[in-house]
């Protein structure tokens, strides 16, 4: 995916990567995240990228210089992160600090307080409702941004075409 010169193949591999990621999320009990990733990551992102390829180009040029500095930066970042994980709790351990009061309260009380069996939905739409409102604001802003960027381009195209004829 990284070394591929054909961008179409790279986009397809990215889509497959997203789908595999969704399968891993199902194994990790995150069913809601899994179907969002499959729909949004493997679906909409791929469509957007294919649209971009259709509007630009499908081929990537060969890099001008050797990627030694980026390799060094990436290796140092990775080594630092792995050093940071050394005293993390073991994978799947039930007494990790993540599973402390807050999520235990959600699991115990959300059934009677909200009345929806899916805890993720209760937290998303009720306990963290403002968070979701902010999320939709971000999406709205991004949508306006995309519309303005592409709208200005279309207008300039029209003006250019008008001058030619």
Partner 1 sequence: MAWLAPYNYWIFVFLMMIGLYTVVARGNLVKKVIGLNVFQASVILFYVSMGKINGGTAPILTGDPDTVYSNPLPHVLMLTAIVVGVATTALALALVVRINDAYGTVEEDEVQEMDRAS
Name which of residues 110 to 139 contact partner 1 (CB under 8 A).
110-111, 117-120, 123-124, 128, 131-132, 135, 138-139
Binding-site size, partner 1 (CB under 8 A): 85
Which is nearest to 46 in space by CA: 6, 14, 7, 23? 14
How big is the chain, counted in residues? 165
Binding to partner 1 (CB under 8 A): which residues in 28-87? 28-33, 36-37, 40-41, 44-45, 48-49, 51-53, 55-57, 60-61, 63-64, 67, 70-71, 73-75, 77-78, 81-82, 85-86
Nearest to 55 by CA among 4, 7, 3, 2: 7
2 binds partner 1 (CB under 8 A): yes
Query: CB-side exposure of 101: number of CA atoms within 13 Å?
Result: 0
The answer to whether 143 and 149 have CB atoms below 8 angstroms apart is no
20-39 residues in contact with partner 1 (CB under 8 A) are 21, 24-25, 28-33, 36-37
């Amino acid at each position: 995916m990284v070394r591929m010169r054909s961008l179409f193949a790279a986009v397809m591999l990215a889509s497959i990567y997203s789908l595999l990621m969704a399968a891993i999320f199902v194994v990790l009990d995150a069913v809601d995240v899994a179907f969002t990733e499959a729909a949004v990551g493997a679906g909409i992102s791929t469509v957007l990228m294919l649209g971009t390829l259709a509007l630009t180009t499908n081929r990537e040029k060969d890099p001008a210089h050797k990627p030694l500095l980026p390799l060094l930066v990436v290796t140092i970042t990775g080594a630092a992160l792995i050093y940071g994980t050394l005293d993390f709790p073991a994978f799947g351990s039930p007494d990790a600090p993540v599973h402390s009061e807050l999520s235990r309260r959600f699991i115990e009380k959300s059934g009677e307080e909200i009345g929806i069996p899916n805890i993720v939905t209760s937290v998303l739409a009720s306990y963290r409702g403002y968070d979701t409102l902010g999320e939709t604001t971000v999406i709205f802003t991004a949508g306006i941004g995309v519309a303005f960027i592409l709208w200005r381009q279309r207008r300039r195209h029209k003006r250019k075409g008008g001058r030619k004829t």
